[in-house]
Structure 1
């Protein structure tokens, strides 16, 4: 496996591979890899000649009071996992190389990114779209895999690719969960044993929504309120949002009549966790 730190070298390498007729698969990450990331890498591995994984904790998508400095990092472990998974190139740029000191151009999606995490984290998706666009220009992928756990991010990236004509096929990777149902996340390591148990309320609330829909309840307000009650029984759980949106347009819905994405963000202690599910009536 080759490790590349220079954005210029990454782009030159990618262009040489393209000229040689190679297809490039790409999995962008912020590192501290877990089984969820590895499932994305596995999905990409079978669909390309050369597999590139990037590790870059993108400062542009963190707000001023968020956990940029504390975000978990373990490059040696990540490197070992990438070798085991058959990654060909590990792109590991430094922040100074990715953003000019006087950078003034950004990529901003203005519809799908408005609510959910976009509402509670202003500027987050501008940072996400910008760094993904930059990574696409540097890595030149034919296919890129994004996880369904970050449901809004996935749909925003798909829209960006469509609207800006990036020649990249986006592949969706299913959510990977712990045996007890907790969605895998690098931020799970922030949780102590009690908080880890409390964090199960996210999946339990989603399961409750699914069962209510299966029983015939179509009222978003009714289902949301019952999810709030369930999460409210967990000491220390603070709801950021519980939102129901059309799975394609991301527009809020009041009645579940077609495929509906229910997404929630909940703080357990100081840790903000997200999860989601598509409800199909």
Structure 2
């Protein structure tokens, strides 16, 4: 596995590859886990060359404490990448990616006014900027993202369409622990007690799914989730919404199979957790 810490170096290596071999990209912020491994495995199956990036992108954080707490585990990340068949890993410094603070501002419309957009102002602008840079640097044929960050996938889909990036986006299923907790790099910051409590998110999603499938309204399903968290004082629920899984527009009723998602975010101690379930 080759390692690069400059844009120029990575571009030079890819120049001779791109014309003859397909390239799959798995962007990450490090602190890798089995969920990332499944993205890499999907990329390995569908491409001749797999590229991954590790970059904790400061411009997508609207909370300095959250940025400081984000786990950094570079040595173990390298081992996971090698084990999953990654060919090239890009690990730039902040000055390498941003010689100056970016002035560009991206507007993703309604995606920025609901759920993650509403509670993390500026977050998707930062996501859009770094993904656009990675797409320009690597020029992949396909890029792989996890369903756990469903709204992020919708933002990147919009970015790809409007800027005409010739990249196929692949959304891979959420990987969970045996108790249902979605794998996330931030799970490392949970205390032992909080880790035992964290599966409440998946239980809430499962309960709301059962209610919707049983004919209850979206309002009733959301109210049940709010009640569940109200009775769990360790948590602070930020939002719960039923949406179109592709557009992220709010849904008043169940849509076609595979088109309805329920999404939520909650704070547990100092850790903010998000999850979703696509029906």
Segments of 5+ residues of structure 2 without an aligned counterpart are none
Partner of 1:265: 265
Aligned partners of 1:108 and 1:129 also within 8 Å:
no
Pick closer, same or farther for the CA change 1:5–1:65 going to 2, 3 Å.
closer
Partner of 1:14: 14
- TM-score, normalised to structure 2, is 0.95
- TM-score, normalised to structure 1, is 0.95
Partner of 2:230: 232
Partner of 1:253: 251
Aligned residues: 277
Q: Distance in 2 between matches of 1:51 and 1:255?
A: 40
Partner of 1:244: 242
Partner of 1:57: 56
Partner of 2:278: 278
Q: Alpha-carbon deviations, 1:124-154, whole Å to 9, x = none?
A: 0000011000000111100110000000001
Partner of 1:117: 116
Partner of 2:136: 137
Tell me how far 1:254 sits from its aligned partner: 2.7
Tell me how far 1:102 sits from its aligned partner: 4.8
From the two aligned structures, give the one with the greater helix fraction. Answer: 2
Tell me how far 1:156 sits from its aligned partner: 1.1
Q: Distance in 2 between matches of 1:106 and 1:56?
A: 20
Partner of 2:92: 93
Partner of 1:188: 187
Segments of 5+ residues of structure 1 without an aligned counterpart are none
Tell me how far 1:161 sits from its aligned partner: 0.9
SS of corresponding position for 2:95: helix
Q: Alpha-carbon deviations, 1:152-189, whole Å to 9, x = none?
A: 00111112111211010111110000011000000001
SS of corresponding position for 2:148: coil
Tell me how far 1:260 sits from its aligned partner: 2.0
| 1:164-183 correspondence runs (5 A) | 164-183=163-182
Pick closer, same or farther for the CA change 1:108–1:14 going to 2, 3 Å.
farther
| 1:71-110 correspondence runs (5 A) | 71-110=70-109
Q: Distance in 1 between matches of 2:109 and 2:98?
A: 22
